[in-house]
């Protein structure tokens, strides 16, 4: 009886080792998501290069600075977006985007979780 604990521990170790070696991918890797910068701009820099335009989006669901970072990252992932500013007071996101980019792409990117985006008139 005094060997029951170590024997059970040994058996468990062998079983877990066998499972780990039999797995298709024995490593466990989690991609760390990209993080928003510590300071997200509330307004654009004011420089709009040739071939780009400023688009504004009203956002429902913004409640804190955590929201600001999530929306900043989401807008920045859209192809053609060059600069992003998030104003939590006005509940708006401004982007500098390549001219002719469909605003629906940005609305789609900004509509997730509790957030709902709507393109404002240019």
pLDDT in tens, 62-110: 998 889 999 999 999 999 999 999 999 999 999 999 999 999 999 999 9
Where residue 82 sits, what CATH number does that domain have? 3.30.70.100
The number of distinct structural domains making up the chain is 1
Residue 28 confidence (pLDDT) above 60:
no
- For residue 85, give both structure tokens: 């500013």
User: Is 96 strand, coil or helix?
Assistant: strand
The per-residue pLDDT for 65 is 84
CA 101 to CA 93: how far, in whole Å? 16
- Does residue 7 or residue 30 have the better pLDDT? 7
Of 35, 38, 42, the C-alpha closest to 83 is 42
The per-residue pLDDT for 29 is 55
CA 122 to CA 56: how far, in whole Å? 7
Whether 5 is covered by a domain: the verdict is: no
Whether 18 is covered by a domain: the verdict is: no
């Amino acid at each position: 009886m005094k060997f029951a604990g170590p024997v059970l521990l040994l058996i468990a170790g062998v079983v877990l080792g066998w499972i780990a070696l039999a797995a298709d991918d024995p490593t466990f890797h989690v991609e760390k998501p990209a993080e928003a910068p510590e300071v997200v701009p509330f307004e654009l820099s004011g420089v709009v290069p040739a071939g780009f335009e400023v688009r504004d989006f009203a956002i429902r669901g913004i409640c804190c600075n955590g929201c600001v970072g999530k929306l900043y990252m989401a807008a920045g992932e859209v192809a053609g977006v060059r600069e992003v500013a998030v104003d939590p007071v006005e509940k708006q996101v401004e982007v500098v985007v390549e001219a002719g980019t469909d605003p629906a792409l940005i609305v789609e990117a900004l509509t997730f979780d509790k957030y709902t985006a709507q393109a404002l008139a240019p």
